[in-house]
């Protein structure tokens, strides 16, 4: 089965103190975390958890394919907790039958109902807003709706990463939920016509392209600006060239997705996994997420990092996350149908 997984492009890596020897992973006082989150973004939280509890965290990282891997491993899977960066992945995991219900008053008190599964199959740990990076010099607008990005006034002025990237398909899925499929198709066609070039790179590259004058506005997640301003000196000039605008849907709020977790169905270290899950939504961990990763905590009352606080007030859109997840395939098909990744004029 490992050969088959490699053929599918499965890649994994370990960091911190993890030892990739599955027979030893089920030892007492250890927990096995399968995660699609970048290791650097969760390492501070994992290290703090291990230091406080004495529970060793073995981490398996892969950008894609973790759900399929857990399913393939079946009852012998060493996975205890699955952590991913998109609500659709969590919904998919639950639908695949590879998760189990978490009954924890601690988690339920920390995570609002809007950001967790009604049956307790998954929970959010942080929020990620899909916002506008705008040139400080060339864009005077203080507010922008997602719908307004179809306006011809933005012709040749928008940059964005691959339309099939999870961050963008999530936004487009929210657009389908808000506008309906036919209007969403027309909207995305118009946004495509307004692109400055073919979708490419990542969110950091959007800021880079704005700084260089290739475009004036673009889509990005808030935390990349925080990272570039405070942790990535070589990219700081890109972030300094833009300001963050929290766009909204007409009559709604800013699109947010989540990073979240689910308890694996056959978790060999279930008690330790629940301890880790409870830790992820604790005041300490949520504070680390805010200060180290520049994310929006899911737990109420946790201060934002000053960099993110300076962006202004963000009001999350009310579109249920499960509706966004249901529309993800339709959003992906819409990207292909309108030829979004071919760029303007194609």
How many CA atoms lie within 13 Å of 198's alpha carbon, on the beta-carbon side? Answer: 6
Per residue in 268-291, pLDDT (tens digit) is: 999 999 999 999 999 999 999 999
| Residue 283 lies in domain | 30-126+257-304
- Tokens in use for 328? 């993800």
Residue 20, domain member (yes or no): no
Residues 94 and 212 in one domain: no
Residues 217 and 142 in one domain: yes
Residues 80 and 63 in one domain: yes
How many CA atoms lie within 13 Å of 146's alpha carbon, on the beta-carbon side? Answer: 29
Residues 223 and 88 in one domain: no
H or E, element range at 182: helix 181-193
Percentage of the chain with pLDDT > 90?
A: 88
Please report, for the domain that includes residue 300, its CATH number.
Answer: 3.40.190.10
Residues 135 and 223 in one domain: yes
**Look-up: residue for tokens 């999530």?**
170
pLDDT(31) > 90: yes
Cα separation, 166 vs 174, in Å, equals: 12
Residue 207, domain member (yes or no): yes
Residue 212, domain member (yes or no): yes
pLDDT for the residue numbered 318: 94
Is 208 in contact with 235 (CB distance < 8 Å)? yes
Is 311 in contact with 318 (CB distance < 8 Å)? no
Percentage of the chain with pLDDT > 70?
A: 92
Residues 120 and 217 in one domain: no
pLDDT for the residue numbered 213: 98
Per residue in 81-140, pLDDT (tens digit) is: 999 989 999 999 999 999 999 999 999 999 999 999 999 999 999 999 999 999 999 999
Residue 262, domain member (yes or no): yes
CA atoms 71, 74, 77, 83: torsion sign: positive
Across residues 196-224, what is the average pLDDT?
A: 97
Cα separation, 126 vs 116, in Å, equals: 11
Residue 19, domain member (yes or no): no
pLDDT for the residue numbered 107: 98
Residue 21, domain member (yes or no): no
**Of 185, 222, 176, nearest to 203 (Cα)?**
222
Number of domains in the chain: 2
> Cα angle vertex 262, ends 301, 303, to 5°?
15
Q: Which residue has the higher pLDDT, 81 or 44?
A: 81
Residues 251 and 265 in one domain: no
Q: How far is CA 213 from CA 1, 125, 159, 242, 309, in A?
A: 49, 36, 11, 11, 27
Residues 113 and 185 in one domain: no
pLDDT for the residue numbered 324: 94
Residues 46 and 146 in one domain: no
Q: Which residue has the higher pLDDT, 1 or 59?
A: 59
Residue 50, domain member (yes or no): yes
Per residue in 223-254, pLDDT (tens digit) is: 999 999 999 999 999 999 999 999 999 999 99
pLDDT(17) > 60: no
Residues 159 and 69 in one domain: no
> For residue 329, how many other CB atoms are within 10 A of its CB?
12
Name the DSSP class of 149. G
Across residues 71-81, what is the average pLDDT?
A: 97
Residues 193 and 246 in one domain: yes
pLDDT(11) > 60: no
Residues 55 and 144 in one domain: no
Instruction: Report pTM.
Output: 0.87
Classified as helix, coil or strand, 276 is helix
Mean pLDDT of the chain: 91
Model confidence at 40, pLDDT cuts 50, 70, 90, reads confident
Residue 43, domain member (yes or no): yes
pLDDT for the residue numbered 346: 75
pLDDT for the residue numbered 28: 52
pLDDT for the residue numbered 116: 96
pLDDT for the residue numbered 163: 97
- The stretches of 19-131 forming alpha helices (DSSP H) are 22-25, 39-53, 66-73, 87-95, 105-110
Cα separation, 130 vs 237, in Å, equals: 21
Name every residue whose Cβ is closer than 8 Å to that of residue 118 and which is 6 or more positions away in sequence.
none
Using DSSP bridges, classify how beta strands 123-135 and 242-245 pair: parallel, antiparallel or unpaired: antiparallel
> Cα angle vertex 77, ends 52, 81, to 5°?
35
Is 215 in contact with 157 (CB distance < 8 Å)? yes
Q: Chain centroid to CA 264: how far?
A: 20
Cα separation, 216 vs 157, in Å, equals: 5
Model confidence at 42, pLDDT cuts 50, 70, 90, reads confident
**Which segment of 22-31, 154-163, 314-323 scores lowest on mean pLDDT?**
22-31
pLDDT for the residue numbered 87: 94
């Amino acid at each position: 089965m490992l050969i088959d997984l490699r053929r599918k492009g499965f890649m994994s890596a370990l960091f911190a103190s993890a030892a990739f020897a599955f027979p030893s992973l089920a030892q007492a006082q250890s927990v096995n975390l399968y995660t699609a989150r970048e290791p650097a973004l969760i390492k501070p939280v994992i290290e703090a958890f291990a230091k406080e509890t004495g529970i060793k965290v073995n981490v398996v990282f892969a950008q894609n394919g973790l759900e399929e891997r857990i399913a393939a491993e079946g009852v012998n899977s060493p996975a205890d907790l699955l952590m991913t960066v998109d609500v659709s992945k969590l919904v998919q995991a639950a639908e695949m039958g590879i998760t189990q219900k978490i009954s924890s008053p601690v988690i339920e008190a920390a995570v609002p109902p809007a950001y967790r599964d009604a049956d307790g199959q998954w929970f959010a740990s942080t929020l990620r807003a899909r916002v506008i990076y705008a040139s400080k010099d060339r864009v005077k607008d203080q507010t922008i709706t997602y719908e307004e990005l179809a306006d011809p006034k933005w012709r040749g002025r928008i940059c964005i990463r691959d339309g099939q990237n999870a961050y963008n398909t999530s936004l487009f899925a929210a657009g389908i939920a808000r506008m309906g499929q036919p209007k969403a198709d027309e909207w995305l066609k118009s946004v495509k016509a307004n692109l400055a070039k073919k979708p490419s790179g990542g969110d950091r590259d959007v800021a880079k392209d704005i700084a260089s004058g290739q475009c004036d506005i673009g889509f990005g997640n808030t935390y990349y600006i925080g990272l570039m301003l405070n942790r990535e000196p070589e990219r700081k000039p890109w972030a300094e060239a833009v300001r963050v605008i929290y766009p909204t849907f007409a009559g709604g709020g800013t699109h947010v997705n989540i990073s979240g977790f689910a308890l694996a169905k056959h978790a060999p270290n279930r008690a330790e996994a629940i301890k880790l899950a409870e830790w992820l939504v604790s005041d300490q961990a949520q504070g680390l997420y805010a200060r180290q990763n520049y994310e929006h905590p899911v737990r109420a009352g946790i201060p934002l990092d000053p960099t993110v606080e300076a962006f202004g007030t963000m009001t999350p859109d009310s579109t249920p996350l499960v509706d966004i997840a249901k529309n993800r395939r339709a959003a992906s098909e819409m990207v292909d149908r309108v030829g979004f990744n071919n760029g303007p004029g194609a």
